[in-house]
Structure formats: C-alpha cells, structure tokens
Chains A and B, each alone.
Chain A
Amino acid sequence: MPLVEVHNVVKEYANGEETIRPLDGVSLTVDQGDYVSLMGASGSGKSTLLNLIAGIDQATSGEIVVADTDITKLSRGKLADWRARHIGYVFQTHNLIPVLTAYENVELPLLLLPMSSAERRKRVGIAMEAVDLTSRASHYPRQMSGGQEQRVGIARAIVANPTVVVADEPTGSLDDETTEQILTLLSRINTELGMTLLMVTHDADAGSRARRKIRLERGRLLENGKPVSLVKGQTAQLHTA
C-alpha cells in the first residue's frame, strides 16, 4: 500500500489571457520509507508539486491521497490539522521563528498535538540530538549559523514523527561543506529513523543521494528517463525499478 498517491494532478495559473500549467496530469506513488528526489529546470513546477503534497497549496484537479486521506477534499481548517500530524516541511531558508529559541522552534509542531509536556520535552530532546544541536537549545536563530539554523529547521520537521518529510531545496542557500552535512543528515533521517523523504533539488549530486530520482519536465514526471504513467498499475510497477 503506497503512502503517497498522486493521481492525475493538474495545477494551472491563470495569467491574464494565457494559462500556465506547471503540472499537467502528474501521477506518482511513494512508499513508506522511500527517499525521493525531485529535479527539473527552474520553473518546471517542482515546488508546486511538493507544496500540493504538503497540503499548503490546492490542485486545480486530481487527487492526492496521503496515508489514506484524500487531502484535496479537506477543508482549510482540517487541512491545517492534517499538516500538523502528517507533514514535516524543511524550507530552503529554514523559516525559523526569530523570537523563539532553537528548542522552542523545534517544540512548536508538538504544541499542535495532544501530548504531555514531559513527552514533548523527550521528543524535542531526541530531535535536537539527531541534528546534533543539543548544546544550542537556548540560542535564538540570529545567534546561529546558516547551517545550524537549517539543522534546527530539520529537527522541527521531524520532531512530530510525520508521515512524510518534504524538503524544498534544503541546501539551496548553503556552502559546499554545510550542504554535505545537511545531505548526510537527511540520508540518516531516512535510513536510521525510517522516515519517508521527498526532496526538491537543483543539485544533481544532492539528487543522487536519494533512492528514487524523479524529473519534472513540461508538466510531466519522468523516472529513470521513462514517463511515470497515469495508469495506477503501471505506476506501481515503475517505482520498484
């Protein structure tokens, strides 16, 4: 049973007279524990697809089923609740809350879940440990380096043990050394913590770390150079390759 199923999703933007269609009938399935990289030219619609799966954008048509919920059918409020439970989002520029410490930033998603404060403390501790920032817990974002901020961002994305971790160019604004650090960290999250990971990247080297490499071209998905079919059966077959 696939964890994420994207069925025939279309995303259009009306731009005056013409319509832009970055996603033109995209289908994709992702299994539990997969590590998928999504590459493609700038403006090809990578972020758009990622945001649709993360439930922060709305498709023009099509279905997106994540962990048995068709999120295209959820109301805005329910979708927010759903995101809190199922999505961990790693942003390109971390998007930490400046008035909260590293610890409090990581704790934030847990406040949305029914959980005792002891349980929260334990989970934040584990997440901070995973990104090796236990010593910086009381620092504010402005007191940390870009790489450290991104690690806090990753800790915040994994702390609630989400169904899917999505990352939109998580190394896009980092130097080589830090990029290496972050990519290693993401791989470990996939292999050691068994989290399902979907990462958009420009960087072929970064993309190659993933187990599955998917390209977005002219509104369609290609995997290993072959189109990812609209037909459900074929899709399932493809991703085992």
Chain B
Amino acid sequence: MLGQKLLPWDYGVRNLFRRPSRSVLTLGGLTIVVLLVLVVVGFIRGLEKSLAATGNPNVVLVYALSSGADIENSSIPGRSPSLLAASVDGVRRRHGVEYVSPELYLATRITASGMSEDALSQGGMGLVRGVTTAAPLVRDKVQLLEGAWPQSGEVIVGRLAHSKLGAEEEDLAIGQQVSFDGQSWTISGTFVAAGSAFESEIWAPLADLQTALKRQDLSMLAVAMDSPEGVADVDLFCRERIDLELKAVSESGYYAALQKHYKPVRMLGWVVVVLVAGSGIFAGLNTMYGAVVGRVRELATLQALGFRRRAILLTLVQEATLLACAGALVACLIGLLLVDGTAVRFTMGAFMLSVDSVGIAVACGVAALLGVVGALPPAIKAMRLPIVEAIKAI
C-alpha cells in the first residue's frame, strides 16, 4: 500500500472546498451524529460511574430482611449497631472508633428557601440520609468539598442534590436553608463522592433526623471490616440473631446487583449508539454518492494518468474521513463544553453525563467508521466503471 504512489494530500482537502455548502451540510450532519453518540455514551458512562464508584468489598451493608433491595423500606432496630459491634470480630477499629455507620435513609419532599415556584411545584423529592461521624469513615469515597461537618440543625449536601430537587445550585449553597419533615436546616457544607449516588443526597445528623421524624429505628448499617472475609462473619451474625431480622450484603455485591438492575438501560444505550451510528453511515453514504457521481470522469482521468484504483479509493476515503474527523472534533468540543457534567435526574438519584476518554474514543471511532464505510461503496462503484466509459461521462 505504501509502496504505491498516492494522490497529493491537498487534492483530497481541496475537494472538500469544491462544494462548500455541501461540505458544510455534511459536516453538520456528521457533527450531530457524533454528538448524539457522545451524549448517549456520556449517559451510559455517567450511569456506570454512579453505580460502580461505591462498591468497597470490605464494607457490609446490613438492612432489614423484609426489605428486598430497597433501603427506603428497610427498618432495623436502633440497638443493632452496638449489638453487632460487640458480637462480630473483625469490625474495623481505629483509635478506639468502630467503623460502624448507622444510617436512616428516606425520600421526602425538600424545599430550599431560594427555590422558584416552578421547581417547588414540580418535584422537590429529595433523598435524606441521617448519619453519624462514622459515616465518612465507612463511606470513604465521601469527601467534604467545602464547609464543615453538620452540627445539630445543620446538613451537608451532595454536589448533585440540587439537580435531584430540580433546584439551582445557588439554592443549596452553604448558609442557605432547606426544610423537610417540618423542620428547617442550615447548609453547613457540600460533599462529593466520586460520582456515586451519594452525590444526590442530603446528609443530616442522625439524632436530629430521628427526632424530627419521631423515629428510633434505622434504615441500615454500613460496616467496614478489616478484610473482605469479615463479610461472612456479619452474615453469620445476622442469621443467628433472628430476632433482629437483619440481612447482610457486601457493598460491592449490593452495587453489582444494582448494576444488573440497570443493565437493560445500559444495553439500550448501546443499541441507540449503534442505531445512531448506522443512520449516520447511511446519511454519509448518500452524500458521498453525490460527491463521487459528479466526479466519475475526473476519477477516470486519474486512472488514465496511471494512478492505481487503490490510490484513488484512498483519496476518496481521505476526504470523507477528514470531514468526519472535523465533525468529531466539533462534536467533542460541544460535548466537553455543554454535555459533560450535565446532571440527569433519575429515580435513584442523579448523575452527571460524562464525556470521558471512553466517550471520546467511541465518538472518534464512529466518525472514522462513518468516513470509511460511507466513502467506500460509492468509490468502489465509481472505480468499477471501465476507464474508457467513465472518461466520456459528463
């Protein structure tokens, strides 16, 4: 291939400016296709991140036997943490602190003082988690971004909590008030959690939340063990203490189950990617047919001069690929500027569309495919014509 004499690079480039309006339209079409691919892949990647980021094999989640996978409906006795810590060896301890995080979790209507009427009327369903200071020890992906750990009457908010509520980011800034369950809370800080589902939650001190809700029970425990083997010990504890009606699952297992639950959504996403790319190829094919048909005679002239068919094929693929790559570039720019980080509300929380290296790689791959697959059939068709016939074409 390389031993062969190729057409000048400029020839391919200048052909793109031959019919500027057609090239611009094609570029627009290709850009939209690549952007769509980028958005869908960003959706899948964002979803995957929010599901995958949290699974720590050393962490066990303990919740009510009757609750299924749904923590919201889980209720376990308030004395479970101390019982568990006392009976199970292998619970992680540092400086006399046990890594046992009792948590109360609920979905409830939340309003922020700055929220617009609009946002208030439609939605406002937020996720609240009552936690103790053990929570950040066990949930080690959670990190305070700004501000301070909540004292009594205060909360910290995940960086996507506002979008779960349908509010503006300013509405949940430090110092603002939020109210839920008949009580008003002051925001003392914001936190991140590596893109995981925690980021759409609001965390309040457990004791305050229990008082506000007039509840003594918990939704669950998160327990950090010294090693993944400890998970089995917790499981054994849950089975022995039938009276507590507990069940244990490793955090990674829990998220694996969640991932499985969302697998159809992800698969659907990939199907959409394939469909979008496929329709893009047809659009590309159509344009390339137009571009090649008008040049049959010129391509025959090149053959008559002694250029091999493969060299001519390559220049046509070059043209289409250049255009597709330009489309990919524009799409990736738009993607990084406008799509990346856009929050998507979801039943289980919110997550951000993620234009990452995978998304960009897929987008560029689709673009390259559009160029090559779109250019080859019309080019091959033109090359099939005998030179003497093609050279008489108008």
Q: By CB atoms of chain A within 10 A, which of B8, B11, B305, B388 has the most?
A: B305
Query: Complex: how many Å from CA A7 to CA B250?
Result: 88
Per the bound structure, the CA–CA distance linking A83 and B5 in Å amounts to 13
How far in angstroms is the closest Cβ of chain B from A29?
23
- The docked-state distance in angstroms from the alpha carbon of A68 to that of B14 is 39
In the bound complex, what is the Cα–Cα distance between A89 and B297 (angstroms)? 14
Q: What CA separation (Å) do A97 and B300 show in the bound complex?
A: 11
The reply to whether B301 and A97 form a contact with Cβ atoms under 8 Å apart is yes
| Other-chain contact of B305, A47, A57, A99, A112 (Cβ < 8 Å) | A112
CB pair B305 A51 closer than 8 Å: no
Cα A98 to Cα B5 in complex, Å, equals 20
Q: Are B8 and A104 in contact (CB under 8 A)?
A: yes
The yes or no answer to A204 lying at the interface (CB within 8 A) is: no
8 Å CB contacts to B: which residues of A38-83? 47, 51, 54, 56-57, 76-77, 80-83
A108 in the interface (beta carbon within 8 A): yes
Task: Assess the B307–A80 pair: CB atoms within 8 A.
Answer: yes
Minimum CB distance partner of B8 in chain A: A111
Interface size for chain A: under 10, 10 to 19, 20 to 34, or 35 or more residues? 20 to 34
| Secondary structure call for the A interface | helix
Task: Give which listed residue, B10, B18, B306, contacts A83 with CB less than 8 A.
Answer: B306
Chain A residues positioned under 8 Å from B306 (CB to CB)? 80-85, 87, 109, 112
Q: How far is the CB of B243 from chain A (nearest CB, A)?
A: 85
Are A83 and B305 within 8 A (Cβ)? Answer: yes
Q: Is the interface of B mostly helix, strand, loop or mixed?
A: helix
Which one, B11, B14, B307, B388, contacts A112 given CB within 8 A?
Answer: B307
Given contacts A99-B14, A104-B8, contact A56 B298 (CB under 8 A): no
Q: How far is the CA of A211 from the CA of B8 in the complex (A)?
A: 39
Report the nearest B residue to A83, measured CB to CB: B306
| Cβ-based interface call for B83 (8 A) | no
Please name all residues of chain A whose beta carbon is closer than 8 Å to the beta carbon of B8 when the two chains form the complex.
104, 111
- Contact partners of A54 in chain B: CB under 8 A: 304
The yes or no answer to B52 lying at the interface (CB within 8 A) is: no
B18 neighbours in A (Cβ, 8 Å) = 98-99
Does A95 make an interface contact (CB < 8 A)? yes
Q: Which of A47, A57, A82, A98 contacts B386 (CB 8 A)?
A: A57
A156 CA to B304 CA, complexed, in Å: 12
Report A72-129 residues with CB < 8 Å from chain B CB: 76-77, 80-85, 87, 89, 91, 95, 97-100, 104, 108-109, 111-112
Chain B positions near chain A (C-beta within 8 angstroms): 5, 7-8, 10-11, 14-15, 17-18, 297-298, 301-309, 386-388, 391
- 27 A-B pairs whose Cβ atoms sit less than 8 Å apart in the complex: A51-B388, A56-B303, A56-B387, A56-B388, A57-B386, A57-B388, A76-B309, A77-B308, A80-B308, A83-B305, A83-B306, A84-B5, A84-B305, A89-B304, A91-B301, A91-B391, A95-B298, A95-B301, A98-B18, A99-B18, A104-B8, A108-B302, A111-B8, A112-B5, A112-B305, A112-B306, A112-B307
